[in-house]
Homo-oligomer: A and B are copies of this chain.
């Protein structure tokens, strides 16, 4: 599984091995002063913070297996290659949206990048009830810019096809998404788990033929609709924030897929944060304002995404699709507007579907999220999770009939008062 010469870093060996790297010395200072801490709390990789006399850096290294599980679940080092390639494209397409990349070593699967400080993982901030100014705007812009500019709406055909081919190599991480997101939640797959009190609603969902069909249609959309370069894992654990800033990290699941995938997954995680809030109450209702804010972020993400996408459509649609030579240059600017609205409508329906499936897999599948997991009381957790499950189903099956984001946030408010166990 390991590339020739690959050796995992450790805090003890890092300065010896990377001390000759000019960019790292420039950013951090001379290696004799480095302090190295391993801080990886994700499931997959080694992450080191290197602190020196001049500054700090992150050194991220892929392991040839899933860190959380061990060597019994091998995972290729090349995911680091895809992460690097996604990061530099995201930086080019939405400058400042991701950490600066300073160095990449493909054989060692090492990315050296900017240390974000005092940023914390957004999901943890949300569980604690914190807010981030401008969050929905920033994430909506990120989605619109990276998704528009990675598509045939913007790139040359040859460049997009080259990137499509490049990211088609990310087989093993796509396989995780294909199985864990779209299939496992809908039957009793081996690695699934769910909160015990959910048995009833889980049985109903897994007996729901239309839901199981919708999930596989979404899976086919994910595997076949190569519209743009996705982040591929855009949840609140892939965003780092201060009170006023947000940066997106960890695009190792990057692949070509439908524009609505990233947007849907992102919104799903805010909706789950919303449904989890009553589980974190200290006194009844003390999270109500946080819930309102979370739903306002959902609204802003979608509205900013749609507005920015439309702005880019009108100002820099220079790819091979919906060409100005065919529309504006012929005095048919209205055709461009008609096409934009059709496309935004399709992205909206896709977004709702992917949103629903993400809400299901985080509660029924292998990979759960801290929003619900940190609710110690199982009965309370089940109550919160059941609402998210019910709403996920409605988003997947009702995607074609939901007229706008206000319907979605209103649904979330209503569901939050219902018992779906």
Tell me whether B338 and A213 are in contact (CB under 8 A): yes
Complex interface: stretch among A108-116, A224-232, A285-293, A412-420: A224-232
Complex interface: stretch among A62-70, A163-171, A242-250, A380-388: A163-171
A 201-238 binary contact with B (CB < 8 Å = 1; else 0): 00000100110110011011001111100000000000
Tell me whether A322 and B187 are in contact (CB under 8 A): no
Known: A209-B332, A338-B213. A223 touches B168 (CB 8 A): no
| CA A329 to CA B186, docked complex, whole Å | 12
Which of A186, A206, A339, A343 has the most chain B CB within a 10 Å cutoff?
A339
Residues of chain A in range 325-353 having any CB-CB distance to chain B below 8 Å:
325-327, 329-330, 332, 334-335, 338-339, 342-343
Which of A169, A212, A343 has the most chain B CB within a 10 Å cutoff?
A212
Residue on B nearest A219 in the bound complex, by CB:
B321
Query: Which residues of B sit under 8 angstroms from A166, Cβ to Cβ?
Result: 165
**Prevailing SS type, chain A contact patch:** helix
Asked if A152 CB lies within 8 Å of chain B CBs, one says yes
Asked if A91 CB lies within 8 Å of chain B CBs, one says no
Asked if A105 CB lies within 8 Å of chain B CBs, one says no
Known: A157-B178, A168-B161. A187 touches B330 (CB 8 A): yes
Tell me whether B178 and A320 are in contact (CB under 8 A): yes
Known: A320-B178, A339-B217. A327 touches B171 (CB 8 A): no
Chain A, interface residues (CB within 8 Å), range: 35 or more
| CA A178 to CA B166, docked complex, whole Å | 21
Known: A178-B320, A227-B224. A216 touches B157 (CB 8 A): no
Asked if A54 CB lies within 8 Å of chain B CBs, one says no
Shortest C-beta distance, A387 to chain B (Å), equals 25
Asked if A192 CB lies within 8 Å of chain B CBs, one says no
Shortest C-beta distance, A318 to chain B (Å), equals 14
Tell me whether A157 and B183 are in contact (CB under 8 A): no
Tell me whether B168 and A216 are in contact (CB under 8 A): no
Query: Which residues of B sit under 8 angstroms from A33, Cβ to Cβ?
Result: none
Known: A209-B338, A212-B332, A321-B216. A223 touches B171 (CB 8 A): no
| CA A330 to CA B209, docked complex, whole Å | 11
Tell me whether B157 and A223 are in contact (CB under 8 A): yes
| CA A21 to CA B44, docked complex, whole Å | 52
Asked if A7 CB lies within 8 Å of chain B CBs, one says no
Tell me whether A326 and B183 are in contact (CB under 8 A): yes
Tell me whether B169 and A339 are in contact (CB under 8 A): no
Asked if A128 CB lies within 8 Å of chain B CBs, one says no
A 334-377 binary contact with B (CB < 8 Å = 1; else 0): 11001100110000000000000000000000000000000000
Residue on B nearest A216 in the bound complex, by CB:
B322
Query: Which residues of B sit under 8 angstroms from A329, Cβ to Cβ?
Result: 187
> Which single member of B161, B213, B323 contacts A171 (CB below 8 Å)?
B161
Residue on B nearest A319 in the bound complex, by CB:
B223
Known: A158-B171, A175-B157, A223-B321. A212 touches B327 (CB 8 A): yes
Tell me whether A174 and B187 are in contact (CB under 8 A): no
Known: A161-B168, A323-B183. A339 touches B213 (CB 8 A): yes
Asked if A162 CB lies within 8 Å of chain B CBs, one says yes
> Which single member of B183, B220, B342 contacts A213 (CB below 8 Å)?
B342
Known: A183-B326, A226-B226, A342-B213. A164 touches B161 (CB 8 A): no
Given contacts A187-B329, A213-B342, 12 further A-B contacts (CB under 8 A): A152-B220, A158-B175, A161-B168, A161-B171, A168-B168, A178-B320, A179-B320, A187-B326, A187-B330, A212-B332, A216-B321, A220-B227
